[in-house]
């Protein structure tokens, strides 16, 4: 009986296992492995010794015990409960952050004994995408959200010694850290026209490459079909994304290739111009106008590389009317209206010039009496006595007759005002009707 009690009180020997190294990907889920010899009355404690044995996850009495769990791990941990009776105490840690790096202890206990396992976590944010762009003969290569700190290198194909390349911009690489502790890297370089420009970003054991080259220009016209090549070998690729853009800003189409099958999306504004996308990735266009002249970019992306090929498309009009294809209906209407107005102004000025260039005949000058002369003659007639009137042979007018004469004279003055202001022209050898210019100038 005493021997049995002593056996029960005897302290269990704790077995310590070597450290296990695990690399977890930033923001993704990660499994920390831990195993033990199966037995009843399982007890599991996950802790972080570097942080004063911070409680990560606990399990006993056949259930999770999370009252003492640290706040930073709340809702982020889980055991594979159905695997615990089989000796699996692995921990699932969700949404890995840079703070999760470090050494963890997995303590397990059953009626058969105790065990301690240590797991070291390293967190990586690998290079997912390297972006490369060309502007004013300067290439910009960049990548974001990387950990650990990345490196960026330039090269060319065919190879060249960039250290002696006068086009290389020295000290052009900059690195910044964002609020999550991840690195952003950017570098610039002079564009090498006759070579393929290669930018490689490396972080940890992972690197990714982006290439850029410019092809010879392609000629096209509104009446012809144009094929813009995407000269990247795709025979050995099973999964990749292909994107065509205009002037490196406007997306024309995107296509995803997965194990021989493809899904393509064409932007609504380009559905009339895109005729086909060949198996090699070449873009076939038709129904082009002058607004479609510019730089076309073919970008092919795989899990490791990005290839960017630039091609300039020059549109040559078939005839003069093709130039108007690039104009909006409002612009065409404005041009026509301006032409009509200019023609009308020129016609009016010519008429005025022709009328002013003509001279009146002598008889017309004598018959044309100004308003002031008529009033002077009328006053003289009224002041003359009966002797003058009797000499002219005209009877003396009463007041009513004189009023009728004045009204008659006033009407003649209004009808002859244009004739009095603008002299009636005379050509050589003939008299011109003064009403000719009068009728032309009164047309409004």
Read off the CATH number of the domain in which 207 is found: 2.60.40.10
Whether residue 345 is contained in a domain is answered as: no
CA distance 288 to 185: 39
CB 162 within 8 A of CB 152: no
How many other CB atoms are found less than 10 A from the CB of residue 185?
21
Q: What is the distance between the alpha carbons of residues 109 and 36, in angstroms, rounded to a whole number? A: 8
Looking at the domain assignment, is residue 385 inside a domain?
Answer: no
Each residue of 287-322: pLDDT tens digit?
999 999 999 999 999 888 999 999 999 999 876 544
Do residues 174 and 107 share a domain?
A: no
Q: Is 444 a residue whose pLDDT tops 50?
A: no
DSSP 224: S
Domain end, chosen from 124, 139, 156, is at 124
Residue 347 pLDDT grade (very low, low, confident, very high; cuts 50, 70, 90): confident
Query: In the chain, what is the greatest distance between 2 CA atoms, to the nearest angstrom?
Result: 182
The tokens of 219 are what? 């000629």
400 within domain boundaries? no
pLDDT at 3: 42
Using pLDDT thresholds of 50, 70 and 90, give the confidence band for residue 401.
low
For residue 374, pLDDT over 70 is answered with no
**pLDDT, average across residues 265-276:** 94
What residues form DSSP beta bridges with 211?
A: 198, 307
Whether residue 255 is contained in a domain is answered as yes
Averaged pLDDT for residues 432-439: 45
Judged on CB neighbours under 10 Å (0-12, 13-18, 19+), 286 is: middle
Domain with 57, as residue range(s), is: 9-124
Tell whether the model's pLDDT for residue 2 goes beyond 70. no
Tokens coding 282: 């070449």
- The verdict on 38 and 67 lying in the same domain is yes
**113 pLDDT band (50/70/90 cuts)?**
very high
In the numeric block, which tokens belong to residue 52? 């004063």
Strands 183-190 vs 239-246: parallel, antiparallel or unpaired: unpaired
Separation of alpha carbons 190 and 197, rounded Å: 10
Domain boundary among 124, 146, 179: 124
The mean per-residue pLDDT over the stretch 203-224 comes to 92
Residue 235 forms part of a structural domain: yes
Tell me: do 155 and 181 sit in the same domain.
Answer: yes
Instruction: Return the pLDDT at 360.
Output: 54
pLDDT in tens, 48-98: 998 889 999 999 999 999 999 999 999 999 999 999 999 999 999 999 999
Strands 239-246 and 294-301, bridge-based pairing: antiparallel
The mean of the pLDDT values for the chain is: 79
The answer as to whether 423 is a domain residue is yes
pLDDT given at position 160: 75
What pLDDT does 246 receive?
Answer: 96
Residues 223, 160, single domain; the answer is no
pLDDT of residue 12: 57
Specify whether 197 is located in the same domain as 254.
no
Does residue 68 share a domain with residue 22?
yes
362 and 442 fall within a common domain: yes
Q: Which residue has the higher pLDDT, 398 or 125?
A: 125
pLDDT of residue 262: 81
Do residue 209 and residue 222 come from a single domain? no
For residues 200 and 254, membership in a common domain is answered with no
Give mean pLDDT, residues 133-141: 91
Is 390 a member of any domain?
no
Residues 44 and 95 occupy one common structural domain: yes
Q: Hey, what are 218's tokens?
A: 């392609």
Count: domains in the chain: 4
Q: According to DSSP H, which parts of 223-370 are helical?
A: 329-356, 362-367
Q: Are 54 and 2 in contact (CB under 8 A)?
A: no
| Residue 143 shares a structural domain with residue 166 | yes
Pair 202, 240 in one domain: no
* Domain boundary residue, one of 187, 213, 239: 213
If you ran DSSP here, which 8-state letter would residue 403 be given? H
Residue 419 vs residue 21, higher pLDDT: 21
In a domain, 238, yes or no: yes
The pTM score is 0.63
Query: If you average pLDDT over residues 188-211, what whole number do you get?
Result: 92
């Amino acid at each position: 009986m005493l021997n049995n009690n002593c056996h029960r009180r005897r302290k269990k020997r704790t077995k310590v296992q070597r450290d296990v190294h695990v690399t977890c990907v930033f923001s993704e889920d990660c499994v920390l492995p831990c195993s033990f010899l199966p037995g009843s009355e399982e007890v599991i404690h996950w802790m972080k010794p570097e942080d004063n044995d911070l409680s990560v996850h606990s399990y006993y009495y056949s259930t999770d015990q999370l009252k003492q769990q640290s706040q930073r791990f709340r809702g982020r941990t889980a055991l594979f409960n159905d695997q615990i009776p089989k000796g699996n105490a692995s921990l699932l840690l969700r949404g890995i952050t840079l703070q999760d790096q470090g050494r963890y202890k997995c303590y397990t206990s059953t009626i058969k004994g105790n065990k301690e396992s240590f797991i070291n976590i390293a967190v990586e944010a690998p290079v997912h995408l390297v972006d490369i762009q060309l502007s004013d003969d300067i290439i910009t290569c960049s990548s974001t959200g990387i950990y650990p700190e990345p490196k960026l290198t330039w090269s060319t194909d065919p190879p060249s010694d960039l250290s002696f390349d006068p086009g290389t911009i020295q000290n052009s690489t900059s690195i910044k850290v964002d609020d999550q502790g991840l690195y952003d890297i950017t570098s610039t370089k002079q564009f090498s026209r006759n070579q393929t420009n290669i930018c490689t970003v490396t972080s940890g054991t992972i690197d990714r490459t982006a290439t850029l080259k410019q092809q010879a220009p392609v000629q096209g016209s509104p009446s012809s079909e144009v094929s813009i090549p995407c000269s990247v070998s795709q025979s050995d690729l099973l999964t990749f994304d292909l994107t065509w853009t205009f002037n490196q800003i406007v997306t024309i189409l995107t296509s995803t290739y997965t194990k021989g099958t493809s899904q393509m999306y064409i932007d609504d504004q380009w559905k009339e111009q895109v005729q086909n996308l060949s198996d090699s990735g070449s873009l076939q266009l038709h129904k082009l106008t002058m607004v479609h002249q510019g730089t076309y970019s073919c970008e092919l992306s795989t899990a490791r590389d990005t290839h960017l090929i630039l091609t300039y498309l020059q549109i040559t009009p078939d005839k003069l009317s093709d130039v108007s294809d690039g104009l909006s209906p409002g612009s065409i209407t404005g041009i026509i209206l301006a032409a009509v107005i200019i023609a009308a102004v020129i016609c009016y000025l010519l008429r005025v010039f022709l009328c002013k260039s003509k001279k009146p005949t002598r008889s017309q000058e004598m018959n044309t009496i100004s308003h002031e002369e008529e009033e002077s003659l009328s006053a003289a007639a009224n002041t003359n006595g009966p002797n003058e009137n009797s000499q002219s042979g005209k009877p003396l007018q009463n007041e009513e007759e004189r009023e009728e004469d004045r009204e008659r004279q006033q009407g003649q003055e209004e009808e002859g005002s244009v004739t009095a202001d603008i002299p009636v022209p005379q050509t050589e050898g003939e008299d011109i009707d003064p009403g000719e210019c009068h009728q032309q100038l009164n047309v409004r």
